[in-house]
Amino acid sequence: MSKSKRTARYEAPKAVTVRLSHADFIALLQEAEDRGTSNAEIIRKAWASYQEKSEVEHEFKRLETRIVKQLFEVCSATLGLSEEERKAARQEFNQRVKNGGRS
């Protein structure tokens, strides 16, 4: 998102309207009261938590990919695969992953 000169120095907070079921609204009010804060603060914290969870999930996926690559290289070296055999094994592995583990 680009910033204009007018908003580059200060961006005013934006309002968001959310429709909740009656039960969820009551639960939100109760949570805010229990914590001694506002409904808006509960929603802001929920949004921040959601963003953090998304970042953590992305990082786990990145680490999983790295571990799989390293494990593949260790297995290839242990089996003594040539460069050509490694490429063929990698292609077969990638195809199996795409097919959900089926050949």
Radius of gyration of the chain (CA): 25
Q: Give one DSSP letter per residue of 62-90, joined into a string.
A: HHHHHHHHHHHHHHHHHHT--HHHHHHHH
pLDDT at 54: 96
| pLDDT tops 90 at residue 98 | no
Indicate whether 6 pLDDT > 70.
no
pLDDT of residue 13: 87
Look at residue 9 in the predicted model and tell me its pLDDT.
Answer: 73
Over 70: is that where the pLDDT of 1 sits? no
pLDDT single digits (tens) 36-49: 999 999 999 999 99
